[in-house]
Amino acid sequence: MDRDICYLKGVGSARAKAFSKLGIRTAEDLLYFFPRGYEDRSVTKNIDDCEAEETVCLSITVSSAVHETRIRKNMAVYTMTISDETGSMNAVWYNNRFVKNVFSPGAEFVLYGKIERARGKLQIVNPIYEKAGEAKYTGKIVPVYPLTGGLLQKNVQSIISEALKSIGEIPEYLPEKLREEYKIPDINFSMKNIHFPDSLESYSRARKRFVFDELLTLQLALFSQKDVISKNDGIVFKDISGGNLLKNNIPYKLTGAQKRAMTEIISDLKSGKQMNRLLQGDVGSGKTIVAAMTIFLSHRNGYQSVLMAPTEILAQQHCESLNEIFKGLGINVVLLTGGLCAADKRFAYEQISNGLADVVVGTHAIIEEKAVFFKLGLVIADEQHRFGVSQRARLCAKGVNPHMLIMSATPIPRTLALILYGDLDISVIDELPPGRKPVQTFAVGENMRRRVYAFLEKNIKEGHQGYVVCPLIEETETLDLSNATQLAATLREKFPKISIGLMHGKMKPGEKEQVMEDFSRGSIKILVSTTVIEVGVNVPNANVMIIENAERFGLSQLHQLRGRVGRGADQAYCILFAHGSGEVTKKRMETMCASNDGFYISEQDLKLRGPGDFFGTRQHGLPDMKIANLFKDGDLLKMAQDAAKKICINELLQKNDEYSALKKRVDRIIEKAEILN
């Protein structure tokens, strides 16, 4: 299985290079390169029963020689008549001169291709062909693989078929008792039938094996990390009173979802085990208040707290918010970021080490060795996808098993959350504070641009600010998409009296911070940006969000971008310039205009695009799903989680030799998955 693909029959250096583009370097990589679909060529159809637009398999006799017709310089059509007991039709190939040497009248062949209507008659176009009885490419269910330049379907099918023969018996790594309990077939049956299924039922069983396998190993990898933390004794917070003191500083009542989250957090804090919890909520759902209440409980129990944010601007905003919430309560909030001058950093380090800093808010600077805590009891990380497990572990090492709370404003479906955050307990805030106005969203075409710009200008003159978001930074020859630099220049020309800023991912961190600070202060009125403004920044005065080429973004990403506006008391608007009339684009735009519910939107995104493209999976550093579909395979996910829990509870990976091969696979995932590092 570890053998280099070069040594497999049919793979030379050119094909090996093509396979490497697909991440295939060994025989094992090749076998786990699963088909993207299948063509059922096992059933032949009579010519007389064929209908236009269907793809069929025909068992035929050649009735004429192949006739060549030159249409123009680079186009030749090759036609022959075919027949069976029920009738006859033409077989047509375009620019395939080799067929002239293949067919002769009276020969029997099997053809597989699409039926089309031309000049009132049916014909089969560019069919795959082989001599009757060969059954190499027809007469069975045939896999269809995702390809890259230099590879053809026939090549890949043939090479994988040869690989299965030459490798022979594949060692099983799922223990027999486990397979019996969950009705999972063995590896050799499954590998053969995932590539070359004997029947649709055999394929279904093989797919179940590999989906279960993929989800089980990933869950075990995540649970193994959780297991390390959950076994740790945690600090017991005995004083959980004083909530009313804090509530007096909060201008509104907590929602039911916020209260529920606090109940779950308090249960962890009292349990004697280290809390390791995800607090997931939509933009504006009130996660910061829940974090502040948790920090307050840490302070009441004599411990320091840390709140870590992904950017300096977000850290500053959290610092200001907490100072407002803790006003008059004698809680000292200290800011620690990389951008502080040396003297301010030294002062912050002193306050942290001598215990005068009750709460430390900052960026990755908090992880540095110089930050030594007096008595750390609580770690809160904002926007989980910026921090891996090892970074969280380094933060936790600043104290003795401090409690950990992760906040994420990326609403994701429960099935995906269980995968992404399998090492965390999850609390969900799924309702918005009362009185918050939903952002009005409109999907428009290019013909509305003048009116949209007039609307933007009107809002700026009324004292508001706006965002214009583009998918690209600079113009490219291949993609005709709006780009930030060009659009900023266009808008400056159109609105010479309005200050317009530009921000994109290629700018240095300091430059981005400065632009965002100018926008937050109000000196920039329109900010033209790529998606770097997605996370966290709070500018209540911004009430218009225009998104160019909205069809290029996933639904969840559009929802995150929309969440940058509507943070003040005034009505906010999101305008989507969408090009393309495809069904998926249309459905996505309709969903955005109809709903402001991030959890509903994320479900639709997963449904429409699948987990591979879902906003978050790549950012969270998950290994790619080769076969599992998190929207369709919810039942198998539950089954895999049930199995993973039993394995972890009984420590089977560590104590049972039958699980040693499975443990090796789990260890490989831990090594590769960024989320775990």
The mean pLDDT value for 203-231 works out to 82
pLDDT at 568 over 80: no
Tell me if residue 76 falls in helix, strand or coil.
Answer: strand
Q: Give the side-chain half-sphere CA count within 13 A for 101.
A: 3
Question: What pLDDT sits at residue 473?
Answer: 56
Question: What pLDDT sits at residue 613?
Answer: 46
CATH topology (fold) of 1-39+143-168:
DNA polymerase; domain 1 (1.10.150)
pLDDT at 457 over 60: yes
* Nearest alpha-carbon partner for 96 in 64, 117, 66: 66
Q: Residue 672 — very low, low, confident or very high, per pLDDT cuts 50/70/90?
A: low
CATH for 43-139, among 3.40.109.10, 3.30.70.600, 2.40.50.140, 3.40.50.970? 2.40.50.140
| Residues 422, 229: Cα–Cα separation, whole Å | 13
pLDDT digits (tens, 9 = 90+) for 521-559: 899 999 998 876 645 567 888 999 999 988 888 887 888
pTM for this one? 0.65
* Amino acid identity at 13: S
Hey, where are the domains in the chain? 1-39+143-168, 43-139, 243-429, 440-595
pLDDT at 567 over 70: yes
The mean pLDDT value for 332-359 works out to 92
Question: What pLDDT sits at residue 618?
Answer: 42
Quote the tokens at residue 43. 């059933």
Question: What pLDDT sits at residue 137?
Answer: 81
Determine phi and psi for 665, rounding to 5 degrees. -65, -40
CATH for 440-595, among 1.10.150.530, 3.50.50.60, 3.90.1150.10, 3.40.50.300? 3.40.50.300
CATH topology (fold) of 243-429:
Rossmann fold (3.40.50)
Burial annotation 111-128 (CB, 10 A radius, 16+ → b, else e): bbbebeeeeeebbbebbb
Q: Residue 244 — very low, low, confident or very high, per pLDDT cuts 50/70/90?
A: low
- The torsion of the CA quartet 181, 185, 188, 190, rounded to 10 degrees, works out to -140
Same fold, 43-139 and 243-429: no
- pLDDT > 70 in the chain, percent: 89
Average pLDDT of the chain to the nearest whole number: 85
